[in-house]
Chains A and B, each alone.
Chain A
Amino acid sequence: MKKNLLPGTVLLVLLFCAFGRQEHFSRFELSGYAQGTTYSIVYYAPDSLVSQQQTDSLLQRFDRSVSLYQPNSLICRFNRSAKGIRVDEPIRVLIARVLQISHSTGGLVDPTVKPLVDAWGFGVVKPRHDPGKDEIKELLRNVGVDKIGLKGDFLYKTKPGVQLDLNGIAQGYSVDLLASLLERHHIYNYLVELGGELRVKGHKPGNEPFKVGIEGISGDDLNPAPMRKVIEPGDGAITTSGNYRKHHEAGGKQISHLMNPLTGYPLQNEMISVTVYARDAITADGYDNGFMAMGLQRTLAFLSNRKTMGAYIVYRKPNGVISDTVTAFFKGYQ
């Protein structure tokens, strides 16, 4: 017992030091470009403990694993392979987590959805036409989490045509990686944001909580709508999935970039956006697309007994009116 007391004591001392020096903390900001979007970090610390060079290089390394825009990334090599390849730790973590989430969402989250994303025109290479029924049926033969798996550090596939798209969860995980980097450098008051996915810890000077805005849903980047809500989530992660920005026209109507991996067709339901709170961003980001696919009622039921996760949902009522709702464990919502 005695042995175990020491680390706890050290931690307490460190915590006292941290709070004792709180007033001398300065604000540091880092921002840059990664994964085809922007990131920004705000932290409060006695000194600039983490530099942009460190965050950039972490994100560049991550991109070399999971970016579909880099032909030599691990994920692209996996997609081209016949049977699979050896993968690095980030991909192993992502695969393990996404498989778990896939099972708990009844297959509505699926990392093998890439052939469908491509066919509907949301991939790196744009197709010349919208897919027909038969084509989708054919594509679905390569979709499904039962067609991939991890054996040690070997990620295998059961059919050569199986391809991964981890974009639905990778951004969240990279936010977690940035948060870990900060914490390794003893930074405990921060907000990390990448492409609209966030991790928050601690608070600003004077015990002021970090405030997070939930973007308006006009989808007009040139004239953004005001924030729908401003929340104070406290420690944890906030991510959003929505179909109000990334969509295009097919067959005379607007289609979402989010696919239903079970049917092979883009999502078409009442959901406009889901903002998820969870302890870490890999979880929040991993589930948010799944909630979009589940629809309002199933999502509310799913979250009703989960105390570590919550959601703020914007949806369209049958009469066309846009409405919103929030679940019990969505934090920091007034």
Chain B
Amino acid sequence: MERRTFLKNTGLLTGGLLLNHNLSAMQPAGNPVKIAVIGCGDRGTGIMNILNGMPEQFRITAVCDVLDFRLAAAQKLSKTGPLKAYTDYRKLLDDQTVEAIIVAVPLYLHYPVAADVIRSGKHLYLEKTMTYTIEQALELVSLMKGRGSQVLQVGHQYRYSPLYYRVKEMINKGYLGKVTQVDCRWDRNGNWRRPVPDPALERAINWRMYKEYSGGLAAELLSHQIDFINWAFDTHPQEFFATGGIDVFKDGRETYDNVQLMLRYPDLGLIGNFGAMCGNAHDGYLFKIKGTLGTVSLLTDQGMFYPEKKLLGEKGTVDGVTGATRIVWNKEGGTPILPEATKDGTWYAFNDFYQKIQRNELPDSNVFTGARTAISVHLANQALYGKKICNWDSGYQIDKG
């Protein structure tokens, strides 16, 4: 799917599709939520940039990072004067004025930091993948029990965009027919490293390269698509097959730079192919959901629907069709799912985080769905690094989701 094709088509289709997320209904009800960021790397500061554009919903009051230069860079993003800066997140949690916390630390720290935030009683926006291990995921589920007024939202932000809600609706309403395969990729042609100002900081900055801290490409990238499939179909994989290696960048990294997962969802008769690599960028982000009636092909902000060609032909008991300004099929026989590109998923995710805090409601990406995805990712990684077939254990206690 080419972005150019999208742009050409979306400009022309002014759109009878109504978005699930009715923006006019999203007017803030109360004061901005005072929010603090723990972990001011790329993701933490990226979120800060988005929140700067949402002053009626959020006011960033404090930042926390173990690296001084990161704290200084985060300070510079402040639109409301100097932020309180912490290097120890526990001290930040003692700050009674802070109402909500964003946790964007390396994966291995998600659980300990998140658990402390939950115990502090503050609302929590926890970056994906929710936890590093299965036990930690189950532990967070039980920690959240009885905390109905506390919001924990997991940062699978892409599925918060109206596009992904619409695709879920299309799947649930049967527009795609019986879906038996999904193809997902998240590729790049590059080493996936961040610049390191001081060699001593290599492991702190490039934590994604090391198994001790990170679940690698599966946890950092493919978890979004794994999570979407879990959520859209209300399921999780049962069997996990995987292969991979350090095939492109033999630079001392431990996490694989070439990964392919095959997940089996036997209740649906569905196979999920999830691949990521660092040695080719042609596909980039690819997400195709394939059913007997049609294919959905998604970018993060735009999507196309391709009815099966066979069906287009079957429609033809007539020689021509008359109708109001007709749908614009592109050259591959597709039509845009939404008339215009959506905003960054993070914007929608935080809009909803705000709403859920106001209403004390369970977010769509919550501790239960977060646990289901974290367990899926972890089992995939066990299959990948352990070179074995793994299975979902029915003993995992995720009550809801």
Q: Which residues of A does B touch, CB under 8 Å? A: 33, 36-38, 40, 42, 69, 121-122, 124, 191, 193, 195-198, 200, 204, 210-215, 219-223, 227, 230, 238-249, 252, 257, 273, 275
> In the complex the two chains form, is A37's CB within 8 Å of B16's CB?
no
Judged by a CB distance under 8 angstroms, whether B319 is at the interface is: yes
Partner of B14, one of A191, A223, A246: A246
Q: Do A212 and B320 contact each other (CB < 8 Å), given the known contacts A246-B14, A246-B16? A: yes
Could you write out 19 A-B pairs with CB less than 8 Å apart? A37-B326, A122-B14, A196-B323, A196-B326, A198-B322, A210-B319, A213-B317, A214-B321, A214-B323, A215-B321, A215-B324, A223-B173, A227-B318, A242-B324, A244-B324, A245-B326, A246-B16, A249-B18, A257-B14
> A197, A222, A239: which has the most chain B beta carbons within 10 Å?
A222
Chain A contacts for B329, CB-based, 8 A: 38
Q: Nearest CB to that of A213 among chain B residues?
A: B318
Task: Give the residue name and chain of the B residue nearest to A219 (CB).
Answer: B16
B54 beta carbon closer than 8 Å to chain A: no
Q: Tell me the number of A-to-B contacts counted with CB atoms below 8 Å.
A: 113
Q: How many residues of B contact A (CB 8 A)?
A: 28
Residue from A69, A191, A219, A241 in contact with B320 in the complex, judged by beta carbons closer than 8 Å: A191
Given contacts A247-B16, A252-B24, contact A196 B324 (CB under 8 A): yes
Given contact pairs A40-B320, A42-B320, enumerate 16 new A-B contacts (beta carbons under 8 Å): A37-B325, A196-B321, A200-B320, A213-B321, A214-B322, A214-B323, A215-B322, A215-B326, A222-B175, A227-B321, A240-B324, A245-B325, A245-B326, A246-B325, A248-B14, A248-B15
- Check if B324 sits within 8 Å of A211, measured CB to CB: no
Residues of A within 8 A of B327 (CB): 221, 245
Contact A243 B320 (CB under 8 A): no
| B321 nearest in chain A by CB position | A213
Does the CB pair A215–B319 fall under 8 Å? no
Known: A222-B305, A222-B335, A223-B173. A215 touches B14 (CB 8 A): no
- Determine which of A200, A215, A230 lies in contact with B323 in the assembled complex, contact meaning CB atoms within 8 Å: A215
Partner of A223, one of B15, B175, B318, B323: B175
Q: Mark B303-329, 1 if CB is under 8 A from A, else 0.
A: 001000000000001111111111111
* Bound-complex Cα distance A246 to B327 (A): 10
- Report whether B326 and A239 are in contact in the complex, using a CB–CB cutoff of 8 Å: no
Distance to closest chain B CB from A196 (angstroms): 4
Q: Which residues of chain B are within 8 angstroms of A196 by Cβ–Cβ distance?
A: 321-326
Contact between B323 and A198, CB atoms less than 8 A apart: no
Q: Which residue of A lies closest to B329 (CB)?
A: A38
**Which A residues lie within 8 Å of B337 (CB)?**
222
Inter-chain CA distance A239–B324, complex, in Å, is: 8
A200 to chain B, nearest CB (A): 8
- With A and B bound together, what is the CA distance between A240 and B323 in angstroms? 5
- Is B319 a contact partner of A212 (Cβ separation < 8 A)? yes
Task: Report A-chain residues with C-beta under 8 Å of the C-beta of B24.
Answer: 249, 252
Distance of A311 from chain B, by nearest CB (Å): 12
Q: Which residue of B lies closest to A171 (CB)?
A: B325
Residue of B nearest to A284 (CB): B322
In the complex the two chains form, is A212's CB within 8 Å of B322's CB? yes
Report how far A215 CA is from B320 CA in the complex, Å. 10
Quote the shortest CB–CB distance from A66 to chain B (angstroms): 15
Min Cβ gap B298→A in Å is 13
Q: Provided the pairs A230-B318, A248-B14 are in contact, do residues A222 and B328 lie with their beta carbons within 8 angstroms?
A: no
The verdict on A245 contacting B16 (CB below 8 Å), with A221-B335, A222-B175 known, is: yes
